[in-house]
Amino acid sequence: MTLYNIIVGFSCTFAVIFYAVGIYKESKKSMRDLNDRYLRRARERAHDLKIEQQQPQPDQAH
């Protein structure tokens, strides 16, 4: 069973490395996308607020 143990040991090591690399890259990408989306929405809200503030109020127009 020594050969079997060696094969299993190597396979497990490779599986762990593949998983660690893959999930790290994927999680990093997901978090970056999520942050970009939040930032874009915050910018859009700030832009909308600025436009609203620039528009004259009804009592000021008279």
- Min separation Cβ 59 and another protein, Å: 37
Please say which residue, 3 or 55, places its beta carbon nearer to another protein.
Answer: 3
Please say which residue, 38 or 47, places its beta carbon nearer to another protein.
Answer: 38
| Amino acid letter, residue 51 | I
- Residue 32 has φ and ψ, to the nearest 5°, of -65, -45
Please say which residue, 4 or 56, places its beta carbon nearer to another protein.
Answer: 4
- Min separation Cβ 32 and another protein, Å: 5
DSSP codes, 15-51:
HHHHHHHHHHHHHHHHHHHHHHHHHHHHHHHHHHHHH
